[in-house]
Structure formats: structure tokens, C-alpha cells
A and B are shown apart, each in its own frame.
Chain A
Amino acid sequence: MLYSMDDMFNILPTVIVVAWATALILVEAFLPKKYKFITIWLTVLGLVVALVAAINQHGIEAEAFNGMLVVDGFSSFLNILILGSGILAVALAVGYNKRFGFDRGEYYIMMMFSIAGTMLMSSAADLIVIFLALELMSIPLYIMAAFYRGNVNSEEAGMKYFLLGAFAGGFILYGIGFVYGATGATGLSQVVTAINGGVDSPTFLLVGAALILIGLGFKVAAVPFHMWTPDVYEGSPTPATAYMAVGAKVGGFAALIRIFVVAFPTLSTDLVPILWGLVALTLVVGNLVAIAQKNIKRMLAYSSISHAGFILMAFLPYGDAAVFKSSVAAALFYLLAFAITSFGSWGVVIALEKSEGKGLLLEDYAGLGRKYPALGVAMLIFMLSFTGIPPTIGFAGKFLLFKAVMEGGYYGLAILGVLTSLFSAYYYLRLVIIMFMKSGEPNIVSDRWVTLVTASSAVATVVLFMVSTPLFAWAEQAVLKLF
């Protein structure tokens, strides 16, 4: 036998999520309408159980299923991150979905499937598994985006996301085909062995790697593959947006890091200029276009594009293993910082959103800081963290990232990063000024779970900054086995 029960134990958190979600489909189908809330609690319980399993698994290193999955520090870091994000995303969705009349349990089940896909992506060590996990992550996201039935914008967002996601999937698959053609394998370790032994057709390998990069670039919303992001983020139900902003990025970057670190280190000379261009474009376009936005969901969409640019920056010290180690660790840390800040800020957006897309313009935030000081301060903290101003975790993330990039000798890009951060300060802090300086009478919808998410994210943004050294050490520990 090529697999055994041990394999199942090695990927226990993923197995729990999948099995739980499958069981929940049945539970949801047979629950009487009055008790539908049980599905939500069961979802959270499942995610917590999986989270405990993932934490418990920390430090284990193993291969599972014939080398198709690798369990290591990297995968357990990302598993913990995505499971935590899932719990926050459920908390954001509960009240919102009820308010807008689409509180159906399948939403949470879809989210669990998507989480399972992301978890598989973080430990997949075979290109085919990466492709399938990517689809398992994405298909439920399309459905979540279109979940607000009868709402044209939401259904359109789902369709647009679907078409561009499937298009990107085609690129990834075609790229995998070329890599298979060049090396005769899809397992990352076999691919790297074949490359080191010398491949007959290096062009194929390069074309394959480039196509995979394009496809994953779509998924993480790097410019010029970002066109879908603002429309999808705006049209989707806000909790779904909050989840996909983090979930799709975690999955996409997990696959990018795993593929490019493990399989293609030899292509660095060819790929670095392309990456350089991607990062520069993403930073500039993301931050400049964000300035022009009047709708907060679109502004946050462009902001998330620009953050994808910052994370991509970590890929530049590519050929230089010593530096690359710390830059990948910085990327993981940045993902964590982005996730926490992002959930908090989406929580504020949800608190202000009214039906029919009202309450989403920047002017609607006027006076928020005066009327609801606590919420205003929370948003202030998130905006500071997005900009990268201490004392927030966003500052630590940017600092570590720029440091790693400078060590790799990419001073130009580091300077560009700092400059675009300054630009971004303009639109982040403009929101703060609107909140505190302008007068207005915003009304918030009270929702204790959203309040809880916002408050705990705000606290975490500051507290985690204090403990950023051990956190970064954890990230460094996590990437150790990758190389």
C-alpha cells in the first residue's frame, strides 16, 4: 500500500474540516428552520477542533500520501492562520447574512470547503494536488460571492470571479503541463531532481513556470491580473469579501512560495526581472488607484491589491537562499498582519453597511469617530496598520519585509515600497480625517459578534506588535524546512 492511516493522521486538521463540512451538509438539510443557527455553532466548533488539531500538530514533520502532501512548519503556520481567519469570518457573517435575508447554513459549509482547499494548498507538494486544492479553494468562493440571491451585484460578482478564476485556472494547468513535459514529473521534489539532472527543454520549464506565475498572480490579485478584484470585492456580500481577501491570498501565496522555493530555485535569473516588474506595477497601481476611490469596499480592494504587491516583494531575493529564508518568513508574518488588520477593518465596514449598498461611501464615515469613539479608534488602528505606522503589527510586517529586501540588494524596490506606503498614507489617513474631523450622523448596526471581531482585531493589531519578535521567530522557524 502506498498510503495508510498514518497519512490521515498527518493531515488530521484538513480531514476534520472536510469530514465536518460533509456531515454539516446533512445536518443543515434535516434541521428544522427554527434551529438553523445550530449549523453556525457547529461550523465554529468544527473550526476550533481543527485549530486545536493544527496547533497540536505543530512541530511535526512528515510526508503523506506518497509525497503528495508535506506537513511541516510552513503548512502548520498557514493552517493555523487560515483556521483562525475562518472563525473570524463566520463571526462577521452571522449577523450580516441574517440582516440581508440570506442566512443559510450552506454559506458556512462552503466556507469550510474553501478552508479545506486552502489548507491542502499550504501542504501540497505535487503540482496536480496544488491545482485541485486551488479549485477546491476557489469554487466555494465563487458561490460565496454570489450568495446574496436576488441581488444583482452579488450574482454578477460571483460570475465575474468565476470567469476570471477559471481563466486563471486554465493558465495554471497549462503551465503544469509544460513543467510535466520538461521534467516528466509533477511532484515538486521529483521536479527539482529532474531540473538538477539537467532538462532537455529548458524553454518548456520556463514557459511552464511563467504560466503558473500568471495564474497564481490572478488568484492573489497582482497587477496586471487584478481587474476582477474591485468589482468582485464590491459586489460580494461584505463578510464573503472579508474572507476571500484573506483566504485567497493565503492559498495563492502558499502555493507560490512552495512551488517557487522548492521546485524552481534555478530559474531565479530569468524570473527575478519579471517579478520585479510585477511588484513595482502592483505597488504603484494598487496605491494610486485606491486614492481615487469613493466607495470603501473598492478602496479596501485596491488596498488589498497593494498588499499583495508588498508580499510579492518577498520573492525577489530569490536566488540567494540565505536572504530568501528571512524574506519568506517576512512574507508569512506580513500575511498574518494583513489578515488581522483586514478582518478588523471589514468588521467596521459591516457595522456601517445598510441595505442596497448604502453606507459604503467614504462620506458616510463622517463623524464616526465622534459619535462612536471606540469604533473610530479601532478603525484608526487598522488604517495605521495598513499604512505601516507603529505601534501596529502592520509596521512590524513592513519593517521586516523591507529589511529582507534590502539585504537582498534590491534598494530600488525597497525605496519604491516606502514611497508607495507614503502614498497609501494619504488615502488611509484621509478616512481617519473624515471620521474624526468632519461632522455627520452615521448610524451603526449593533452586532455583538462583529463588535467582538473588531475589538479583538484592534487589540491584536497592537499587542502582536509588542510580541512581534517571537512571532517572527515562529515564522522563521516555519520556513526552515522549506529550503
Chain B
Amino acid sequence: METEVIVFLILAFVAIGSAIGMIINKNAVYSALFLILNFATVAIFYLMLGAPFIAMAQVTVYAGAIMVLFLFVIMLLGAEQLKKADKGEWQKPVAILFVVVLIVEAVYLIFGGGGDLLPMINEVSEVGDPISLATKLFKEYFLPFQVTAVLLLAAMVGAIVITKQDKKS
């Protein structure tokens, strides 16, 4: 096997393991830390896929800002653990069935019917550098860029409205 494939498999193992750790952990803080690990591994995948800029954004925005916000809220609420046992009811068998189907599908993709997939292009192209990204973002994808701006504004105002305490009168 090539080195890259070996690296991929190790990282994939870490990514899946941390995802499982996230969903089965009783303590929300540990879950959040597992998720950060998962995001960091995914960032390395982005590097392997020739997307260095996205990888950096992943680390700073996702693993950095978003997850810190999560941790902050968990600590603020003191809500690391639920008082009652955390158990699902009827959803559980359905969910597990659903996941088994998806995982079988994934295995099939790797070992079986992957034949109809496109092969990976070989030369490391320069697609992921900041200049080509920015050019495309501000020219071709100008409209969605604007929409995200409006979206963030609306979300910000909304979040403030929901949490702002009324002044005691």
C-alpha cells in the first residue's frame, strides 16, 4: 500500500473513533472535545485533498470558534451531564437500522461497486490556493456570498433578541 493510503486509513480510524466517542459519551464536555478531534482530522483530509485554505478555515472557524462557543455554553449552563439516564426509546432500533444500511453502503462503495466512481486525478492541482478561491468567490459566487452575509446578520440579531433579558421595570 502507498503511504498516503496508510495515512488515510489511520486518520479515518481516528475520525470514526472520535465521532463514535462524541455520540456515546455521557459527558457533554468530552463529547465536544471528541468533536474537536474529529474536526481536526477532517482538516488534515482537506490538506491531503489539496485544499489548504479550507483546512485552515476548518481549524479556525470550526474547531476554534464554533466548538469554543459550544464548550462555553456547556460550562455556562453547568450542563455536562443529564440528571436522568440518557436513553432513547423507539428511535434507537430505527436509528441503528438506518446507520447499518448507510455503513453497508459505504463498505460496498469501497470494496464492491466502486467501479462507477471517478478516479482521483493525480497531479496536485493549484485549485485550492487563496487567490483562485477568492476570485471565484467574489465573481462567480457573488450572490451566495451576499446571502450568507444577510443570513449571518439575521442570525446575530435573532440570537440577541432571544437571549436579551428584559430590564426589570
Contacts and interface: CB of A to CB of B under 8 A. Distances in A.
Given A109-B157, A110-B157, A135-B151, A143 B143 contact: no
A132 to B, nearest CB: 4
B117 A143 contact: no
Given A2-B140, A128-B144, A136-B151, A149 B162 contact: yes
Given A2-B139, A68-B144, A201-B116, A25 B150 contact: no
A104 B159 CA distance: 14
Contact of A200 (B113, B117, B143, B150): B117
A116 B150 contact: yes
B151 A143 contact: no
A143 B118 contact: no
Interface residues of A, number: 40
Contacts, number: 79
A2 B161 contact: no
Interface residues of B, number: 23
A12 to B, nearest CB: 14
B153 interface: yes
| B interface SS class | helix
Given A3-B143, A68-B143, A22 B153 contact: yes
Interface in A1-60: 1-3, 7, 18, 21-22, 25
Most chain A CB within a 10 A radius of its CB, from B151, B153, B154, B157: B154
Interface in A188-210: 200-203
B116 A25 contact: no
Contact of A143 (B116, B148, B162): B162
A25 B153 CA distance: 10
B57 interface: no
Given A129-B147, A132-B151, A133-B147, A2 B157 contact: no
Nearest to B161: A106
B116 A132 contact: no
Contacts of B116: 200-203
B162 A18 contact: no
B142 A136 contact: no
B142 A113 contact: no
A116 B117 CA distance: 39
B155 A132 contact: no
A389 B144 CA distance: 44
A62 B162 CA distance: 39
A65 B143 contact: yes
A142 B154 CA distance: 11
A136 B113 CA distance: 38
B158 interface: yes
A202 B153 CA distance: 39
Interface string B130-164: 00000000011111100110110111011101100
B157 A146 contact: no
A110 B158 contact: yes
Most chain A CB within a 10 A radius of its CB, from B117, B151, B153: B151
A201 B117 contact: yes
A436 interface: no
B166 interface: yes
B161 A69 contact: no
Contacts of B162: 143, 146-147, 149, 155, 158
A140 interface: yes
B154 to A, nearest CB: 4
Nearest to B118: A200
A151 interface: no
B118 A106 contact: no
Interface in A130-184: 132-133, 135-136, 139-140, 142-143, 146-147, 149, 155, 158
Interface string A369-411: 0000000000000000000000000000000000000000000
A110 B137 CA distance: 27
Interface in B66-123: 113, 116-118
Given A22-B153, A136-B151, A200-B117, A69 B143 contact: yes
B157 to A, nearest CB: 6
B161 to A, nearest CB: 5
Nearest to A155: B162
A139 B153 CA distance: 11
Nearest to A158: B162
Nearest to A105: B161
A66 interface: yes
A251 to B, nearest CB: 14
Contacts of A136: 147, 150-151, 154
11 contacts: A3-B142, A7-B143, A22-B153, A66-B140, A110-B158, A110-B161, A116-B150, A136-B147, A136-B150, A155-B162, A201-B116
Query: Lowest 5 A-B CB distances belong to which pairs?
Result: A143-B158, A65-B143, A113-B154, A132-B147, A106-B161
Interface of B: 113, 116-118, 139-144, 147-148, 150-151, 153-155, 157-159, 161-162, 166
